Copies of this chain bind each other. A is one copy, B any other.
């Protein structure tokens, strides 16, 4: 299964954010919502994939394509799901998640604990990685991406230690949600060799 971990450095950690101002007042939550959509949506179908949003290294919200229900592709309704998950954060105790709706889970875990929990072949997506087109497709990848900010030194060190590959989706620096789309397409097309 394909998994995507998106680090939201400025993301909210409580539900008191406005759905009408996701870019500013909600710390670029618009971008994180688009990552959920690009990670899970096909046209008229949902992928068997998971997207994990790491919010300010404090909480991780997981959207599971296999079990999520009534998810819509627009930013606002996805942000509302995130808000509901944060509203239920008191139910997340130890390793037990809060599950405000089927297929949406919030855990009180930062990046390091989330990576340890979910497993998979860890692949960092970053502009200075090796070109995707020169790499072999990876089974059960867990792609790790950053939001509009670069990885912190701590995150870079963690990923350098744990990731099996560091790949770049192209010569242009893309938004995280666009990088998710390219990574999916790369695997869909078996590494661009044929389909």
Question: Which chain A residues have a beta carbon within 8 Å of chain B's beta carbons?
Answer: 19-20, 22-23, 30-31, 34, 37-38, 41-45, 72-77, 131, 133-134, 148, 169-175, 178, 181-182, 184-185, 188-189, 192-195
Contacts and interface: CB of A to CB of B under 8 A. Distances in A.
29 contacts: A20-B76, A22-B74, A23-B72, A23-B73, A23-B77, A30-B73, A34-B37, A37-B175, A42-B172, A42-B174, A42-B175, A43-B148, A44-B148, A76-B76, A131-B189, A131-B195, A133-B192, A133-B193, A133-B195, A169-B185, A170-B188, A170-B189, A171-B188, A171-B189, A171-B195, A174-B181, A174-B185, A182-B185, A185-B185
A80 B186 CA distance: 34
A76 B25 CA distance: 14
Contacts of A134: 194
A192 B192 contact: yes
Q: How many copies does the complex hold?
A: 2
B188 A172 contact: yes
Contact of A73 (B45, B76, B175): B175
Nearest to A21: B76
Contacts of A195: 131, 133, 170-171
Of A42, A188, A189, chain B has the most CB atoms within 10 Å of the CB of A189
A139 B34 CA distance: 29
Contacts of A42: 172-175
A148 B148 CA distance: 28
A30 B77 CA distance: 11
B38 A178 contact: yes
Contact of A175 (B43, B170, B178, B188): B43
